[in-house]
Amino acid sequence: MSNASANLIALKTIWIKECTRFLRIWVQTLVPPAITMTLYFVIFGSIVGERIGTMSGVSYMEFIVPGLIMMSVITNSYSNVASSFFSAKFQRNIEEMLVSPVPTWAIILGYVGGGMARSMIVAVIVTCVSFLFVDISIAHIGYVILTVVLTSTLFALGGLLNGVFGKTFDDISIVPTFVLTPLTYLGGVFYSVSLLPEFWQNVSMANPILYMVNGFRYGFLGQSDVGIATAMWVLIAFNVVFFSGAYYLLEKGKGIRS
């Protein structure tokens, strides 16, 4: 068997293991996002949306759908890899992988692939839920797919980095609570950045989640608060940086080898 075939088998094995892990407890991993997003649709879409009316020329409900889907993608891709990788590190499983012939890139892609699979399934579930509240039209399917793939990859890599640096299970919840949640809510999920004063518009441009939400919204509605090309390049750049960082840390055994 060639090295390439062996590496692909290793990658596939890690990916299947990660998928099996979250599918086995689907009541905890797939159902809660559907319930949470349903509440968002009811409260922010139906109740608040009726008072707001329209946002950027479309109904408020239609406006927030892409942002809510993206929010579920970000949360699930990140949390899946962060918890899984840290658990493997805590149980000393990662050390066995690092001393095995499995290449570092296969380990990274296996874990990231698991996080992407969970986030994609949740995205489909949330999209189906949104059909109960609003008719969704897709203006540019290519940008929808590209944005969701790049975003899920990025935050899966972020979860892996969190797992590497985390020393206790409490460390896994710090970043989602104090970093991801504020950035997501300030990333234009529920409002158009154009409504903000000029100073806060400029501040918002430093929020990377703004580009993800607007790139995804452009795919659905054909409109965005930022340039679509800029949004794509920001996503690609962050993915390259995060993958390089994860690769370096695993190669050196940072935060893993004692």
Domain coordinates in residue numbering, the chain = 3-252
Please state, in angstroms and as integers, the Cα–Cα distance from residue 186 to each residue in 14, 207, 210, following that order.
Answer: 35, 8, 8
Integer Cα distance of 38 and 44 in angstroms:
10
Cα 45 to its chain centre, rounded Å, is 22
Confidence of residue 201 (pLDDT cuts 50, 70, 90): confident
**Interval 109-150: pLDDT, tens:** 999 999 999 999 999 999 998 888 888 888 899 999 999 999
**Interval 8-29: pLDDT, tens:** 988 999 999 999 999 999 999 9
> What is the pLDDT at residue 38?
86
pTM of the model: 0.91
Residue 152 has pLDDT above 90, yes or no: yes
Which residue type does 200 have? W
At what angle are helices 3-24 and 60-90 packed, to 10 degrees? 110
Integer Cα distance of 153 and 148 in angstroms:
8
> What is the pLDDT at residue 257?
59
> Quick one: which of 12, 5, 22 has its CA closest to 107?
12
Residues above pLDDT 70, as percent of the chain: 98
Confidence of residue 2 (pLDDT cuts 50, 70, 90): low
The tokens of 81 are what? 């890899």
